[in-house]
Amino acid sequence: MKSFGRMCSTLSRKPLWIFDRRRGIMRVGVDYYPEHWDESRWETDARLMREAGISVVRLAEFSWCKLEPEEGRYDFSWLDRALEVLHREGIQAVLGTPTATPPAWLHQRYDIYPRDARRYPLGFGTRLQRCLNHPVMRRYSRLITEAMVSHYAHHPAVIGWQTDNEFEANLCYCDVCADLFRQWLQRKYGSLQALNRAWGTIFWSQEYTNWSQIPLPWVARCGQSHNPSLWLDYRRFASESTVSFQREQVEIIRRLAPHHFVTHNFMGLHDSLDYFALAQDLDFVAWDNYPSGNWKEAGHAELAHDVMRGIKQKNFWVMEEQSGIPGWEYIGRRPAPGQIRAWAWQAVAHGADAVVFFRWRSCLYGTEQYWHGILNHDGIPRRRYREVARFGEEMNRLSAELDGTTLHHQVAILNSYEQNWALQIQPQVNGLSWWEQVRRFYYSFRRLGAGVDIVPIDADLSQYRVIVLPSWYILTERDAQRLSEYVRQGGTLIVNPRTGVKDERNVCRTEPLPSLLREVAGVEIDDYDPLGTDENRIRLHSGEEFAVSVWADALILQGAEEVAVYTRSIFAGETAIACHRFGGGTVYTLGTYGEPALYDTLLGRVLDEAGVETMPGVPEGVDACWREKEGARYLFLVNLSGEERSVPVPEGVTTLLGASPHGGMVNLSPYEVGIYRTGS
Amino acid sequence: MKSFGRMCSTLSRKPLWIFDRRRGIMRVGVDYYPEHWDESRWETDARLMREAGISVVRLAEFSWCKLEPEEGRYDFSWLDRALEVLHREGIQAVLGTPTATPPAWLHQRYDIYPRDARRYPLGFGTRLQRCLNHPVMRRYSRLITEAMVSHYAHHPAVIGWQTDNEFEANLCYCDVCADLFRQWLQRKYGSLQALNRAWGTIFWSQEYTNWSQIPLPWVARCGQSHNPSLWLDYRRFASESTVSFQREQVEIIRRLAPHHFVTHNFMGLHDSLDYFALAQDLDFVAWDNYPSGNWKEAGHAELAHDVMRGIKQKNFWVMEEQSGIPGWEYIGRRPAPGQIRAWAWQAVAHGADAVVFFRWRSCLYGTEQYWHGILNHDGIPRRRYREVARFGEEMNRLSAELDGTTLHHQVAILNSYEQNWALQIQPQVNGLSWWEQVRRFYYSFRRLGAGVDIVPIDADLSQYRVIVLPSWYILTERDAQRLSEYVRQGGTLIVNPRTGVKDERNVCRTEPLPSLLREVAGVEIDDYDPLGTDENRIRLHSGEEFAVSVWADALILQGAEEVAVYTRSIFAGETAIACHRFGGGTVYTLGTYGEPALYDTLLGRVLDEAGVETMPGVPEGVDACWREKEGARYLFLVNLSGEERSVPVPEGVTTLLGASPHGGMVNLSPYEVGIYRTGS
Amino acid sequence: MKSFGRMCSTLSRKPLWIFDRRRGIMRVGVDYYPEHWDESRWETDARLMREAGISVVRLAEFSWCKLEPEEGRYDFSWLDRALEVLHREGIQAVLGTPTATPPAWLHQRYDIYPRDARRYPLGFGTRLQRCLNHPVMRRYSRLITEAMVSHYAHHPAVIGWQTDNEFEANLCYCDVCADLFRQWLQRKYGSLQALNRAWGTIFWSQEYTNWSQIPLPWVARCGQSHNPSLWLDYRRFASESTVSFQREQVEIIRRLAPHHFVTHNFMGLHDSLDYFALAQDLDFVAWDNYPSGNWKEAGHAELAHDVMRGIKQKNFWVMEEQSGIPGWEYIGRRPAPGQIRAWAWQAVAHGADAVVFFRWRSCLYGTEQYWHGILNHDGIPRRRYREVARFGEEMNRLSAELDGTTLHHQVAILNSYEQNWALQIQPQVNGLSWWEQVRRFYYSFRRLGAGVDIVPIDADLSQYRVIVLPSWYILTERDAQRLSEYVRQGGTLIVNPRTGVKDERNVCRTEPLPSLLREVAGVEIDDYDPLGTDENRIRLHSGEEFAVSVWADALILQGAEEVAVYTRSIFAGETAIACHRFGGGTVYTLGTYGEPALYDTLLGRVLDEAGVETMPGVPEGVDACWREKEGARYLFLVNLSGEERSVPVPEGVTTLLGASPHGGMVNLSPYEVGIYRTGS
C-alpha cells in the first residue's frame, strides 16, 4: 500500500465515481496507452486531453508484461507516473485488469493456450491466447488483480475498474475444458443414466457408460454436427466459464476497493456469452461502439445501444467510442466530418452517461497500427481532435442538466442468449437468427415513433404495454407462466414462429406447437414450411397483401381469430396470423416473417390498440430519443444521414443544443444534433 | 438361440421374403426406431402403421449401444419386445447391422477413429467414426453381427438384413490404412520396380526404394496434387476396403440365416464407392431417396432410380423414402401436398418393389431432430400420414397385379465408378464430370420418349440398340474389344471426348486418340481445346447450329463421315462430330458437348435409325415408365409438377389408378398419378 | 572426373556459353526429360528438335532419384547417354540441380518436411517437400550439386546451370526455422531489449524476456494477425533463407565449373522472394513464361518480361516458354494458331536472348500429365511443332543480326520486394497491392508509346527522365536521400499514397506524411480516407474530371502547386494532386488512384514536360519494342490480338520479318510479327 497524498494534495482523496452527484456523472473520456509513448510526451497529451474536455481515461488493460515484467515482480512505477501527470490535469482513471494478454514468460512456463475445435493450440503472438478455465491462468489472474487493486485502491485518481477486455465465451476445446465440462455435467445430471436420458444419446448409439467418454464438440466425421443437447450444454458451460473467471476478479476488487466501481467493456450484439450473467457481478455495463462496421450492425448503433441499456436495465458507459478509421490488416472509411460527434451524442441519447473515445493516438506498433485514434500517428491535433473537443465542450456544458436522466419505454423486445445459442446450433433456415428477428421488430417500432427496451424475461414485464417474443425456441414452464401472467394482466404479447419447440435440454417437445403457449395463444400449429429465402404471400383481413419468407406455420384456430391468411401454395387459405383475447390481454401469433411494411401495418395497429405513445414523423436517418428525470423530458435528435432533415418538434421546447425549431419543425444539417427540453 | 414360437403362434414361421410370391413382393414400409420412444407408445405406432398399409419396418441399424451396452453383454430383449408388438399387427422386419455407430465403450478402449487427409482423428459424437480397415473394428463388427444374426435367424417377423448404413468408400488416412494400402500395392505390382514403372514415379523424382515410403495422398506442399496413378489406386483400395468390410457381415448372415435376404441402403448418385462391387454380395439393391435436394439430384429422382436399378440390373427397394422436410442444422422445404405420394409412385414406376418411408416419427433428440418423419414430434397423424396411408392403400391394392413386373429398354448409358473416380482426380474442365455427362444424354433420351438403362460395361450389351459411352477415360483392351464387338454385331455406339486417354494405370496412352477405339470410330483426334465454360459453335450437315462447350476435339476422318463442323476459332472448319459404319453397326464420335437441343436433334435421328421404340409427347414434368411381365404392360404416369398436365395414352388401356383417358389423352392434376394396363 | 572427349571429338571442347559471340547468343531451346521416355525414342526426339531449330535443352532438374538412386551412389550414365544423343545433333545443355524434389530414401531417413502455419508437415508425394533451412537438406543439396558439377564441368555439351526450380521464399514454420529465425533476430538486434523496442512489443503485452519465446507467425487466436514488425522480419528471413540455400550451390558451380554460366528460372511477378538478392549470385535471369493465365498476369506477359529484365537490368532467357495447354487437375485453353510464336517473339522483343519451350512432349505420368508440351502424348509432330519450328527458323536466321541488342528507356517504375511484402502484411484496402499500383502506371506509359524499365532503387536513377514511385511504404533515410538527389539533379518523380508511412522496422513514422519526402514533395498530408472500392472524383486544373478510388489523401500545399482537387465529400475542395519544383526537377504527389484516363492525361503531360521520346499510335493489342546496339535500332511489332491491326512505322525502315510497310503503316494479321531495322 502506497500513499499518493503528496503528489496530488490539492485534490480531494474522496473517491469520485459514477454515483457521486457533486461533479455530475456525465463525462467524456479517452482510452489511453501511456506505455506506448515516451514519457516526455505525457504532459502534452494530458494537456491536450483537458483542453478537449476529457476528464476520464481508461488505462492499462493490455500492459501485464509491463506491470509484472517477470514472475512475481510487480512494477507500478510507470503507471503511477502516468496517473500523476493525468491527475494534474484533473483527469481520473478507470484501470483494466490486464488478463486478456498474459505475458510471454507465463506461456513459456505453462501451456495455457486455448485449443480450437481440432485441438490445435492457439499460441502466442496476438491476444486472448489463454484458456479461462486453466487453473494456472486462474491463479495468475488472481495474483495480478490482487497486486494491482491493492496498489491502486486508494489512489485519488482511480475511480473504477474494467475487468479484462471484451470477454467472449471460453469456447476452448482443450483437455482442461473437457474435464471441467464433464464435472459440470456430473453436477448437473447426477448420473450418466440421467444424462443419457436427457440428451437422448440413444440416437446414433451415443450412450455413455463412463464420464470420460463425453467429448467436447470437436470436429468429427460429420463436422461439428454433434448432438444439439451436448452443444447447448457446452455453450452454457463455456459462457459460465467466462463469468466465473470474471467473478474471481470482481471479488478481489470488491474486497480491496469496495468504493470503486467495476464494469466491463461489452461488445453490443456480440452473443457468444450470457451478457445478463456477466453483468450481474458489475455495477454497470460499458461497451465498445464502432458504428462503421464492427459488432455486426454496420451504420446502426441504436439497436446495440438499446441492447446494452437492457442488460442491467439502466444507463451505461461507452468505454470505446469510435474516433477514426478502424481495422487491422484491412481498414475502413474515415468517418465524415461531424459523424464522430453525431455518434457520440447518439450514445448519450440512448442512455450513455460517459463516452470514452478509443483511442487517444494511433499506435505506432503492432496489429492495431491502423485502428486510428483521435490523433494520427504524428500526434498533431487535426480534424478529429477538433470534433471531439467540440463534443467535449458541449457534453461538459450540459452534463449538470442531463445528469440523472434516463429512458422509459412502453414497448419491449425480450432478449435471451440461450435462445440465441440454440438458434446458432440449429439455424434451420436463413433469416431465423436471433438478431435478424429482433431487427425486424425493432426498426419497425422505431419507424412508428416508439422507443424500445430490450430486456430479459425476468425483467418487470408489467411496465410494458406491448412485448415481442422472438422465437422462444426453448420454452420452460416458468417462462410460459410468466408470459401467460403478463397477458392475463392486460399486456399484449407478440409470439413468433419456432416458439416452444424445445425444452431446456434442447430436446423437442411432444405437445403440439406452440406447446406450453397453446392455450394463451389460442392456436395450434398443424404443419410448417421452412421457406428460407423462398416466398409466400399473406393477406390481412383488412385487405393488404405482403410478401413473407423464412418460415410458415399453418395455424389452427382454437379460440383465436384469424388476422391474416396465406394466399399461395403450399398453405393457401391457411391461417398465417391470429389474434387471441386472453384474460385482460391479447396475444398475436405470427406464423411467418414478412417484409418491413407488414410490421409497420400490423404493429401500428397493435400500438394504437395498446395505447402506446409514439412520436411519428421522424424522417429516416434521424434518431430521436427521450431522456427523462423528475418533471423534465429531453428530446435528442441526431441526424445520422449525410443530408439535411426536417423533424417535427413539440410546441414550447427549450433548445439546449443545435438549431431552434420554427413552426414546429427543426432543420438538422448533415450529422447535426439538437437537444430540447420540455415539461418541468 | 431363443424360440419365438410362443409369442406369434398364429403366424407362419416360414420365412417370408422378397421372392416369396404368395403374398406378393410389392410392399410399403417405414423406418422405425422403437428405441427412441417409450415402450408404452409402441402399440399405438404399430396400429397406426397397419392402418396406413405398412407391412414392413427397418429396425436397429443405429442401436449398437443398446444391443451391446457393455463389451460382450448383448441385450436383445427390447428389440424382441418391439418385434412382438409389430408382428402382432402383421408387420415384418428388416434388421440393420449397427456398425455405422460403434458404442462409446469401444472407442474408449481402442483408437479406431478414421483420419482425414491431414491425419486428424475424426472422433466420437456424430457417426461413421470408425475406420473400416481397422482390425479391431473388423473384429467387433463380426461379433455383433454374429450375435444379432444368431438371435434373429429364426424369428418369424424377420425377413432380411441391411448391412451397416449408407456405405461410402473408406477414404481414411490412418496408419492402418497406409500399411494395408502398401500391402495391397505389393500384391498388385509384385515389386517396387514394377510399381515405379507403372506409376511413372520418375516424374518429380518419386521413385520408391522401400514400400514404407509410399504415402497415402495426404495433404502435401502442393495440396493433394499427388501422382494420379497413386490416387486411382488409393480410390480403388478405399472402395475395396468397404466392400470387404461388408463381405464379412454378409458371409455371417449367409451362414447363419441363409433363408434371409441381405441388402444395403445405397445412395443413388453417390460415387465414392464401386456400387457394382458392393452389390455383388447382396440379393438386391435398396436405396435412400430424398428427391428434395439430397444425393445431388435436386428434384430429379428418375436418373437415380435408373442408376440404382442398373446396379444389379433388376428391381430394387427404396429403403428410405422421403416423407417430410429433411435436414440437420439447416432444413429444406415441406413437400407440397401430393408430392410424397407422387415420389413414392415414381419409385415404383422405375422399378422399386418396396417403398420404405423414412421415418415413422420425427426424433426428439440428436443431430437429425429435423429430419422429419411421417409424424411430427407431437406424434399426431396429420397431413403427411394421410398421404402415406393413401399410397399404402393403393399400393397394397395393386401389388398382386404389379408383382413380377419390371422395366425393359433398348437404350443404355454405360456406368463406371472407375471412370468417375479418374475424372474426379482430374476434372480438367468444368462440365466433364461423370454425372454431368450422363445427365446430358439421359434427359435428352427421356425427352424423346425413350426409357434408359444405366448399366456396367460387362452387362449383356447385345440387348441394346443404342449405347452411350460417356468419357471412357481409362480404356482397357478388354473394354475396347467388348465395344468393338457390340458395334460389329449391329449396335449403335455414341463415343464422347476424353475416351481412351489413359490405360488402367491412369497413365496416358501414346496412341493417337481415341486410342484403342480409333479403328472402330474411324477417326483420329489431331488436337483439342478445353473449352470449359467458354463456347464454340457447330453446324450439323443438315444445317442446324448449336452452341458447344466443355471440350472440343478436332477430328480427322479416317473412314468416318463428317456429321458436324466447328464454325468458330480456334477450330473453325474442323470436324466436330463424325459417323462411322463399322461391321453391322454405327459409331458416332462426338468431339464436344452441346446445348440440350443438340442432343434432342442428334439422338432423335439416332433413335430413328436404330429403330428404338419411343413414346413421344410426354410433357415436361411428367415421368412416364412401363413395367412389364409376361403379356402385360403397365404404363405409369407421374405428374411431378405443380401444374395440370395432359398426356397422350395408347388406345384401349385399362385404368388401374387415377384419371381415365378421354380421346387418347389423360389429364393429370398436380402431383397426380395414373397407372394403365395394356396388352394381355 | 570423366573424359567425354571420345564421344564428341568433332566438337570444340571450349565452353560455349552466353557471352561467346562466335555462334551468337540468341537461341531456341526446349525443356527435355529424357528420363521420362524410352531410350529408343531419344534419337527421334533429338532429330525432330534439330529440325525445329532447337539448339539448347534444359535437363535433369527433377531427376534426383535417378541421379542418386540410393544414398551416395550416383548414376550419371543415363544422362551421359542422353547428352551424347543430343550433342550429336548439335544441341547443348543447361543442367538443373535437382533439389526441388529430394528422393524418397532421403525423406525416409530424415524429417526435413516443411511445416505450414499450423505446423502440419507437408510430406512426400508432390514437390518442394523440403525446408531449405534444414541442415540435412543443406548437406544433401551440396553433395548432389558437387557430384553433378564435378561430373559435367568439362562436358562439351554442357554450357551452364539452373539452380533448383522456381524458388520461393522458404515460408516454412518448422522448429528448425523457428530456431534459426531467433538466431537471425539475435544477430540483427543484439539484445531482446532492442528487439522489444524495435517491434513495439509493449503493444498487447508481448515483450519477450527470452529469445525462445519469439514465435513464428503461426496461426493463433486472432488468425495470423501477428505484430507487423515480426511479420516483416519473418518475410525477410524466409527470403534470405532461400537466397543462402542457392548461394551454396552457386559457390560449388563457380568453384568446379567457373567457365559455365549459372542462372535460375524465376517466375515473373511472383513476389514471395527478393528477386534482386536471388539474382545477385547469378550470371543472368531466366524465367518461366506462361502467358495464358499463370504468374498472375493473364494474357499480359509484357509487364512480367520488363520486371524480369529489370532484376539485373540486362537481357534474360525464357527458360520455360508456354508451348501448349497448361494445368494440373484443371487445365486451360489451347493457344490460338500463331499465338505460341507471337508470345515467343514478344519475349525477344522485351529482351529475351534465348527462348526455351516447356516442354518437348506431354508427359505420360504424374501431376503434370496435362501440362502440354510441343508434342502431344502421342509424340507425333502436329500443329504446335510446326509453329515452334517456324519460330526456330526465323530466330536462327535473325540471331546474328539481333545479337547484342538490348532495350533502353527514359521512364522507370521502381520495384521493391520489401515494400511488396509490407503491403501484403497490411493490404489496408483493395487495390493498394504492389503490382496493382505498378500496372496502373505501366500500362498507361505503354498506351502513350513509352517503353518502361522496372528497376530497384539502387539502380542508376540518373538515366531516367521520369520515375514512378509506387507506395514506398517503408522509407529509409537512404532511400529518401537518393530520391531527393534524383529530383534535385533534374529528374521528375511521381509519388503515390502510403509513401513514407513506416520505417524499416515496419513501425509507423511520427513525422507528418509523406514523412521524409515532405520537403522534396512540398506537401503534407492532413488526413486520409481509405476508399477501397468506393469512389471519389477529382478535377484537374485543366478542367477534366476523373473517378478515383482505393485511397484519398488530403494534401496541404507547402510549396507545391495544386494540380487537382477532390470534388466530393468527404474531401471536397481538398488538394488531390500537387506539383512541386524542387532543385532542377519536379515532384508530382498523387493523393489518390484514378481510372486509366487520369493516368493517360496526367502522364501524357509529364512525358511531354520531361522530353521523353514516345511512339504514339500503336493500337491496343500490339506490343511495340525497340532493341538497339551501336548504330542500329530494331523495331519489334507483335500483334497479340486475334484481329488485324494497322501500326504506324517510321520512314525508311528495312523489313527483317513480316509484312512490309506501305505509306508509313504496316498491317499485321492476327498473332503476326514484324521486325524492322532503322538507322546505321
Q: DSSP labels for A612-648?
A: ----TTPPTTEEEEEEEETTEEEEEEEE-SSS-EEEE
Q: Are A116 and A249 members of one domain?
A: yes
Check CB contact of C272 with chain B, cutoff 8 Å. Answer: no
Helices (H), C190-227: 192-199
Identify all chain B residues contacting C72, using CB atoms and an 8 Å cutoff: none
In the predicted model, what is the mean pLDDT of residues C321-337?
Answer: 96
Does A369 sit within 8 Å of C426, measured CB to CB?
A: yes
CA distance C219 to chain A (A): 7
Q: What pLDDT is recorded for position C675?
A: 98
ipTM of the complex: 0.95
Q: Could you tell me if residue A570 is inside a domain? A: yes
Which residue in the set C65, C383, C642 is minimally distant from B206, CB to CB?
A: C65
CA–CA separation, A482 and A467 (whole Å): 12
Strand ranges in A44-134 using DSSP code E only, listed in sequence order: 56-59, 92-96
Q: Please identify, among B610, B638, B670, the residue that sits at the C-terminal boundary of a domain.
A: B610
CA–CA separation, C302 and C454 (whole Å): 12
Residue B385 pLDDT > 80:
yes
Determine which of A377, A384, A386 to mutate to test the interface with C (most C C-beta atoms within 10 Å): A377
**Per-window interface: B 326-355 vs A, CB < 8 A:** 327-334, 336-337
Residue C4 pLDDT > 90:
no
Q: What is the DSSP string of C584-635?
A: TEEEEEE-EEE-HHHHHHHHHHHHHHHT----TTPPTTEEEEEEEETTEEEE
Residue B5 pLDDT > 70:
no
Beta partners for residue C56, in sequence order: C29, C92
Residue of A nearest to C232 (CA): A366
Q: Which chains touch B (3 or more CB pairs under 8 A)?
A: A, C
Does B332 sit within 8 Å of A226, measured CB to CB?
A: no
All 3 cell numbers of residue B498? 476424353
Q: Please identify, among C402, C426, C448, the residue that sits at the C-terminal boundary of a domain.
A: C402
Burial class (CB in 10 A: 0-12, 13-18, 19+), A148: buried
CA distance B19 to chain C (A): 47
Q: What pLDDT is recorded for position B297?
A: 47
Q: Could you tell me if residue B462 is inside a domain? A: yes
Q: Could you tell me if residue B527 is inside a domain? A: yes
| CA separation, residue A601 to residues A24, A606, C507 (Å) | 43, 9, 56
CA distance C649 to chain A (A): 48
Q: What pLDDT is recorded for position C631?
A: 84
User: Average per-residue pLDDT in chain B?
Assistant: 95
Q: What pLDDT is recorded for position A9?
A: 37
Residue B8 pLDDT > 50:
no
All 3 cell numbers of residue C354? 534465348
User: How many CB atoms are closer than 10 A to CB A644?
Assistant: 11
Identify all chain B residues contacting C45, using CB atoms and an 8 Å cutoff: none
Q: Are A557 and A665 members of one domain?
A: no
Q: What pLDDT is recorded for position B350?
A: 98
**Per-window interface: A 381-410 vs C, CB < 8 A:** 382-384
CA–CA separation, B488 and B492 (whole Å): 9
Q: Which chains touch A (3 or more CB pairs under 8 A)?
A: B, C
Q: Are B337 and B418 members of one domain?
A: no
Give the closest residue to C248 by CA, choosing from C133, C79, C107: C133
Q: What is the DSSP string of B16-80?
A: --TT--SS-S-EEEEE--GGGS-HHHHHHHHHHHHHTT--EEEE-TT-HHHHSSBTTB---HHHH
Q: How confident is the model at residue C680 (pLDDT cuts 50, 70, 90)?
A: low
User: Average per-residue pLDDT in chain A?
Assistant: 95
Q: Are A454 and A469 members of one domain?
A: yes
Q: Are B329 and B426 members of one domain?
A: no
Identify all chain C residues contacting B503, using CB atoms and an 8 Å cutoff: none
Does C332 sit within 8 Å of B220, measured CB to CB?
A: no
Q: Could you tell me if residue A268 is inside a domain? A: yes
Total number of residues shown for chain A: 680
Residue of C nearest to A63 (CA): C205
Q: What is the pLDDT of residues A537-590, one digit of tens each?
A: 999 999 999 999 999 999 999 999 999 999 999 999 999 999 999 999 999 999
Distance of CA B13 to the CA centre of its chain: 34
- CATH code for the domain in which residue B56 is found: 3.20.20.80
Q: What pLDDT is recorded for position B15?
A: 39
Q: Which of A61, A68, A166, A297 is catalytic?
A: A166
SS3 C266: strand
Q: What pLDDT is recorded for position A292?
A: 85
CA–CA separation, C467 and C475 (whole Å): 16
Check CB contact of C119 with chain B, cutoff 8 Å. Answer: no
Check CB contact of C128 with chain B, cutoff 8 Å. Answer: yes
Q: Are B606 and B522 members of one domain?
A: yes
CA–CA separation, C530 and C550 (whole Å): 6
Does B66 sit within 8 Å of A205, measured CB to CB?
A: yes
User: How many CB atoms are closer than 10 A to CB B137?
Assistant: 21
Q: Are B272 and B171 in contact, with CB atoms under 8 Å apart?
A: yes
Identify all chain B residues contacting A508, using CB atoms and an 8 Å cutoff: 362-365, 369, 377
Q: Tell me the pairing of strands C265-266 and C286-289.
A: parallel
Q: Which of C320, C394, C418, C524 is catalytic?
A: C320
**Per-window interface: B 457-516 vs C, CB < 8 A:** 507-513
Domain count, chain A: 4
- Among the ranges given (A11-25, B77-91, B617-631, C427-441), the one the predictor scored with the smallest mean pLDDT: A11-25
CA distance A424 to chain B (A): 9
Check CB contact of B526 with chain C, cutoff 8 Å. Answer: yes
What is the span of the domain harbouring residue B674? 622-679
In the predicted model, what is the mean pLDDT of residues B218-225?
Answer: 97
Q: What percent of chain A has pLDDT over 90?
A: 94
Residue A471 pLDDT > 70:
yes
**Per-window interface: A 173-232 vs C, CB < 8 A:** none
- Among the ranges given (A1-5, A631-635, B637-641), the one the predictor scored with the smallest mean pLDDT: A1-5
Q: Could you tell me if residue B289 is inside a domain? A: yes
Q: Are C330 and C418 members of one domain?
A: no
Cis before B470 (ω within 30): no
Q: Could you tell me if residue A198 is inside a domain? A: yes
> At a CB cut-off of 8 Å and minimum separation 6, what does A45 contact?
A32, A34, A37, A360, A361
Residue B365 pLDDT > 50:
yes
Residue B13 pLDDT > 60:
no
Residue C19 pLDDT > 70:
no
Q: How confident is the model at residue B16 (pLDDT cuts 50, 70, 90)?
A: very low
Q: What pLDDT is recorded for position C642?
A: 93
Between chain A and chain C, how many beta carbons pairs sit less than 8 Å apart? 159
Q: What is the DSSP string of C548-571?
A: EEEEEEEEEESS-EEEEEE-STTS
Q: What pLDDT is recorded for position A385?
A: 98
Residue A26 pLDDT > 70:
yes
Which residue in the set A325, A366, A380 is minimally distant from C204, CB to CB?
A: A366
Q: Are A567 and A639 members of one domain?
A: no
Q: What is the pLDDT of residues C362-409, one digit of tens each?
A: 999 999 999 999 999 999 999 999 999 999 999 999 999 999 999 999
Q: Are B382 and B486 members of one domain?
A: no
Q: How confident is the model at residue C292 (pLDDT cuts 50, 70, 90)?
A: confident
Q: Are A439 and A385 in contact, with CB atoms under 8 Å apart?
A: no
Residue B610 pLDDT > 70:
yes
Residue C13 pLDDT > 50:
no
Strand ranges in B211-272 using DSSP code E only, listed in sequence order: 261-263, 265-266
Q: What percent of chain C has pLDDT over 90?
A: 94
Q: Could you tell me if residue A238 is inside a domain? A: no
Q: Are C115 and C130 in contact, with CB atoms under 8 Å apart?
A: no
Q: How confident is the model at residue A7 (pLDDT cuts 50, 70, 90)?
A: very low
Catalytic residue check, C320: yes
Between chain B and chain C, how many beta carbons pairs sit less than 8 Å apart? 159
Identify all chain B residues contacting C362, using CB atoms and an 8 Å cutoff: 508
- CATH code for the domain in which residue C448 is found: 3.40.50.880
CA–CA separation, C622 and C659 (whole Å): 14
Check CB contact of C160 with chain B, cutoff 8 Å. Answer: no
Helices (H), A526-660: 596-610
Q: Could you tell me if residue C615 is inside a domain? A: no
> At a CB cut-off of 8 Å and minimum separation 6, what does A334 contact?
A324, A325, C527, C528, C529, C530, C570
In the predicted model, what is the mean pLDDT of residues B457-462?
Answer: 98
> At a CB cut-off of 8 Å and minimum separation 6, what does A4 contact?
A80, A154, A155, A156, A157
Higher pLDDT, A345 or C14: A345
Check CB contact of C108 with chain B, cutoff 8 Å. Answer: yes
Does B368 sit within 8 Å of A203, measured CB to CB?
A: yes
Check CB contact of A70 with chain C, cutoff 8 Å. Answer: yes
CA–CA separation, B113 and B121 (whole Å): 6
Residue C57 pLDDT > 70:
yes
Q: Which residue numbers of B are catalytic?
A: 166, 320
Q: Are B326 and B346 members of one domain?
A: yes
Give the dihedral of Cα atoms A393, A396, A402, A403; nearest 10 deg.
Answer: 160
Residue of C nearest to B429 (CA): C330
Q: What is the pLDDT of residues A429-458, one digit of tens each?
A: 999 999 999 999 999 999 999 999 999 999
In the predicted model, what is the mean pLDDT of residues B353-364?
Answer: 98
Identify all chain C residues contacting B207, using CB atoms and an 8 Å cutoff: 65-66, 69, 103-104
DSSP C517: G
CA distance A212 to chain B (A): 8
Helical (H) or strand (E) element with B274:
none
Does C222 sit within 8 Å of A126, measured CB to CB?
A: yes
Higher pLDDT, B631 or B61: B61
Q: Are C564 and C540 in contact, with CB atoms under 8 Å apart?
A: yes
Does B220 sit within 8 Å of C125, measured CB to CB?
A: yes
Number of H helices, E strands in chain A: 17, 25
Q: How confident is the model at residue B338 (pLDDT cuts 50, 70, 90)?
A: very high
Distance of CA B101 to the CA centre of its chain: 23
Q: Please identify, among C363, C383, C402, the residue that sits at the C-terminal boundary of a domain.
A: C402
Q: Are C565 and C462 members of one domain?
A: yes
Phi, psi of A654 (to 5 degrees): -105, 130
CA distance C365 to chain B (A): 5
Q: What pLDDT is recorded for position B300?
A: 75
Q: Are A671 and A655 members of one domain?
A: yes
In the predicted model, what is the mean pLDDT of residues C573-583?
Answer: 98
Q: What is the pLDDT of residues C460-496, one digit of tens each?
A: 999 999 999 999 999 999 999 999 999 999 999 999 9
Q: What is the pLDDT of residues A597-616, one digit of tens each?
A: 999 999 999 999 999 999 99
